[in-house]
Amino acid sequence: MILLRALLTIAIVMQLSGCGYHFSGSGDNTIATGQSIWVSFIRNESTSSIAQTVLRRALFEESHRLRGLFPAASESDAELVVNGTLRSYSSKAVSYTAADRAREYRLMLNVELEIRRKGMNSLLWKGSLQSYQDFPASDNLALQQNAEEAALVAASRIIAQKMLVASEQAY
């Protein structure tokens, strides 16, 4: 009985003092299901001519898939607005065959993104995100380009997922 009272007292004291932990995504930085989102044209400082378009599509798709957001008809209609800059896009060989030919390449993206809530002067979230995806080398140029484009789609999805998670953890 004394042990039970002691444990209960300790539990109450711990509850009253608080431990400093709280749920991430609480407060003004939550992204609620059903909100509209607009992804502005992503500025491109890289060498890729299509990466910003693939990234923009991934941001829309992952926002819908992971958070239930839907694309707004225009920026003025959106509750959330995403702006960003594709800082770098690179592809380099990461593994080789015994004949010293590239076996696998790594596509790397570096992006700066920010999210604003409609009517707010301050940012909901801003940060720099990186992602990479490996893809196989091929002697056939068409197959090589297809593999690189698939890697770009996968890396862009990872960037979009990281953005959503990071925006809700910024408390």
The token pair at 166 is 């990071």
Residue 162 belongs to some domain of the structure: yes
Residue 103 belongs to some domain of the structure: yes
Number of helices (H) and strands (E) in the chain: give both, helices first: 3, 6
Residue 118 belongs to some domain of the structure: yes
Per-residue pLDDT at 171: 52
Q: Of all helices (H) and strands (E), which one includes residue 54?
A: helix 51-67
Per-residue pLDDT at 169: 82
CATH number, domain containing residue 126: 3.30.160.150
Structural domain harbouring 152: 28-169
Residue 14 belongs to some domain of the structure: no
Q: DSSP letter for 159, please.
A: H
Residue 21 belongs to some domain of the structure: no
Cα–Cα dist 46/163, whole Å: 20
CB 24 within 8 A of CB 165: no
Per-residue pLDDT at 23: 46
Cα–Cα dist 163/157, whole Å: 10
Place of tokens 């839907």: 70
Per-residue pLDDT at 19: 52
Per-residue pLDDT at 135: 97
Regions of the chain where pLDDT drops below 70: 3-4, 6-8, 11-29, 170-171
- How many structural domains comprise the chain? 1
Q: DSSP strand E in 16-79: where? A: 36-39, 43-44, 70-71
Per-residue pLDDT at 15: 62
